[in-house]
Every structure is written in C-alpha cells, then in structure tokens.
Amino acid sequence: MRVLITGGAGFIGSNLVKYLLQKEEVELVRVLDNYVTGKKSNIQEFHNDPKFELIEGDIRNIEDCKKAADSITHISHQAALGSVQRSIENPLLSNENNVNGWLNILQVARENQINKIVFASSSSVYGDDQNLPKIEEKIGQPLSPYALTKRTKEEYGRIFSELYDLSIIGLRYFNVFGPKQDPSGAYAAVIPIFIDKLRKEVTPTIHGDGLQSRDFTYIENVVNANYLALKKTYSKPTFRIFNIALGDKITVKSLYYKIAEILKSSIEPNYGPNRRGDIKNSLADISKIKTELDYKPLVSIEEGLKRTIKWHINNFKI
C-alpha cells in the first residue's frame, strides 16, 4: 500500500499517519497539506521515517493534487475546512475546500487509476432527520453549508464510482476527539475547549441547555476504521458509506462533568444561546460497518477522555 493522506497534518490526518506507518503492508505514507488548519508540529515526529513523505500543497490546486497522487495506490482524503459555524460565516470558502478540492482528488484518482479511495464525511449529513440511531440509508435536509458540502462529497463519490469504476468508501464521522485536537481558535471543538478552560480555571460556556446529545468518538476508533476501509476489497468497484462512531450517546452537560471530574474541578459552566445549524441529538447505528468491515470500537469515551486530558497536560502549559 502506497497511501496519500490529504490533510495529513491535521488532527485526524496526523493520527492516521502514525497508525499507518506502523503497518507492515504500508510502504509509503505521503501527506499533502497546506497548513491552513493542520500544523507542522503534528507531523514533525515522522520526518525521519523512511516511509514518510510530505508535499506542501493545496487540494484546490489540481497540479498539487497530480503531484501528490503520483505512484500512489490508495487515497485517504481527510482534508477539509471543518466547523458548521465557519461555513455559515463563509460558505464560499467551505465549498472551495470541501467540494472543489474533493473533485480534484477524484479527478487525479481517475487519471492515475487509483481505484481505492476512502474519504471523510460527517454525521452532519443527517441534518433535520430526528430518528435515532442514525442509519446510513436515511438522511434529512442539511442544516448548514458545511453539512451540504459533506452531502455533496458523498454524491460526487457515488457518481465517480459508478462512472469510472472506482472503489470509494465514505466515513461519516461522529464528533471525533483525542490527542492533537487544538483547543485554540474560533472553531475549536467542545472537548479540547472544556479541558483547556478547566485547566486554566476559566468558566466554560455550554451552548443551549446542555441536554443536546452526541456520539463522541475517540480518535483511535476512527483511524482503525480508516485502516479497515483502506484494506477492504470488493469483487467489483463499489461505493459504500459507513457511520464511524462509538455507538453510544452522552449529553454535552454530562460530558462536561465527566471532564471536570477527571480534572478534579468544581467549576460550574455558563449556559449560552443555541448555535445555528447544530443538530439537537446524534447517535450512530454502527451495525453496518461492524458487519462489512469487522469494525468494533476499541476505546470507550471514559478511557478516551483520560488519554486526551493526559495529552493536553503534557503538551499545553497553563
């Protein structure tokens, strides 16, 4: 396997790089990243690995994509501009990265006859569908430009698979967390924000009443699912979509108190207005990926929080 990971300097991408470099059947891991959301420090540890290559480039530039795809057998497309709120503020930028960039990757895969592609989708595609748990075949209307870009990615993947005989697997991530997830910035995820605020003894704000629920998924579960998807072979080119999650839900309020307990903090949170475009409740049905890819969650939310907090303590001073 000679794997191209787009967005390999990002949170999920860099964890996937580390995971794949340890696999015997992987002879090359090449990263393409422009460092807009990714960090050079996330991949610094890999630079001396003979199986690692780095190309600084942008998925929106077709020439960068062509260079990155040369001699590659598998593509893991993790590059994207995340955040519902960012997409509401700048829908054009989200579309340029998440849709146009994806189309470039699909095109170079077609030209180079790379017939195995795994890409990151999102639980946001379930939109206004109120049914729980979320089943791959039943989605609602998107609630944000970000969700729409992920839905569009899935449709482009399906069409390219059918027209050009490519095997493409989309993974709908459910609230991924873990080491290398940055607590800083306007669009940081809730778990690193809670950890960072509590360590600094600053009162965090929960948007809404805190009773909204999520299927928080530790990063090791996600990178293992990506590996299983990259390895999976079908008798003929196919397009598949899978939920990637723990298969359990917790309210944001309960999550906060779990983090506070681990950090031995008694700080009570503030509560603010709901965020536009957010889904109220989310819980994944993971029976499909269990059956087809032999996936099973490796790390619980409690253990994942302990590992994540330990990483933050070791990497961020207060």
Q: Which of 19, 35, 126, 146 is catalytic?
A: 146
Element (H, E) at 123: none
SS3 107: helix
Q: CB neighbours of 133 closer than 8 A, spacing ≥ 6?
A: 247, 283, 284, 285
Q: Strands 217-218 and 28-33, how do they pair? A: unpaired
Nearest alpha-carbon partner for 144 in 193, 216, 81, 186: 81
256 catalytically annotated: no
Question: Do the beta carbons of residue 106 and residue 114 sit within 8 Å?
Answer: no
Q: Where are the beta strands (DSSP E) in 34-85?
A: 52-56, 74-77
Separation of alpha carbons 17 and 78, rounded Å: 11
DSSP state of 273: P
Catalytic machinery residues: 146
